């Protein structure tokens, strides 16, 4: 129900705050429902459904399309594009990035969204190759889109792990605990776009 709630809220053009006010609930409570931390009572479900303009059945119905993680492989991308041209984002002026030490990933470089009041920020990151359990997983409100520019990474999403290669991408709800790790001999480079909630 958590993913369904967020999809319906976004489709309705409502922020968490707006939905909470319309339903007579707290923003914190609605946020917990979207993250799957809490389960709504029947009364809360009725209020939320009314605020969204949907039926209770639609709100609680499960759908196979509700997977909060969308993985797109390079060979299935449409239109198909090679990863090589995007690799130029690693360095200003389109220059290729010099080889990076496996144990010394570069700090993230902001490529867009540094201006105030922007909801989206884009980075080029070089993930560490240290095992994922050596670092805490991140989670926050909003969405993330990542595109592997070069190399390969393991994308850990809660208990799920996906291995992505150059040209692959992932789009997911960033309230899911997540972490990326470089794998293989070539240091990975990833374009990461974060869209935060209002």
Note the pLDDT tens digit of each residue in 123-167: 899 998 876 556 678 887 788 999 999 999 999 988 889 999 999
CATH number at residue 140: 2.60.120.10
Same domain, 149 and 165: yes
How far apart, in whole angstroms, are the C-alpha atoms of residue 24 and residue 194? 29
Confidence of residue 175 (pLDDT cuts 50, 70, 90): confident
pLDDT > 80? residue 11: no
Same domain, 168 and 111: yes
139 or 15: which leads in pLDDT: 15
State the pTM of this model. 0.54
Confidence of residue 25 (pLDDT cuts 50, 70, 90): very high
* pLDDT per residue as tens digits for the range 52-110: 888 887 787 655 455 567 788 887 655 434 344 444 444 444 444 454 444 455 555 55
Other C-beta atoms within 10 Å of 73: how many? 11
Same domain, 49 and 121: no
Same domain, 119 and 77: yes
Name, in order, each residue with C-beta under 8 angstroms of 37's C-beta and a sequence gap of 6 or more. none
CATH number at residue 32: 1.10.260.40
Domain that holds residue 103: 69-195
Total number of domains in the chain = 2
What backbone phi and psi angles, to 5 degrees, belong to 150?
A: -155, 160
Average pLDDT of the chain, as a whole number: 77
Q: Which of 47, 66, 85 is the last residue of a domain?
A: 66
Same domain, 130 and 187: yes
């Amino acid at each position: 129900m958590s993913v369904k709630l967020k999809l319906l809220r976004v489709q309705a053009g409502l922020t968490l705050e707006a939905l909470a006010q319309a339903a007579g609930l707290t923003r914190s409570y609605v946020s917990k429902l979207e993250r799957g931390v809490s389960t709504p009572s029947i009364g809360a479900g009725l209020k939320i459904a009314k605020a969204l303009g949907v039926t209770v059945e639609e709100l609680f119905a499960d759908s196979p399309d509700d997977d909060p993680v969308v993985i797109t492989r390079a060979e299935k991308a449409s239109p198909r594009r090679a990863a090589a041209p995007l690799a130029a984002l690693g360095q200003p002026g389109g220059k290729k990035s010099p080889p990076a030490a496996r144990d010394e990933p570069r700090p993230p470089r902001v490529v867009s969204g540094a201006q105030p009041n922007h909801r989206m920020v884009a980075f080029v990151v070089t993930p560490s190759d240290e095992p994922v359990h050596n670092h805490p997983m991140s989670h926050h409100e909003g969405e993330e889109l990542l595109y592997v520019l070069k190399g390969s990474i393991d994308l850990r999403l809660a208990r799920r792990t996906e291995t992505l290669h150059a040209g692959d991408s992932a789009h997911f709800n960033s309230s899911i605990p997540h972490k990326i790790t470089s794998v293989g001999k070539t240091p990975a480079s990833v374009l990461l776009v974060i869209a935060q909630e209002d």
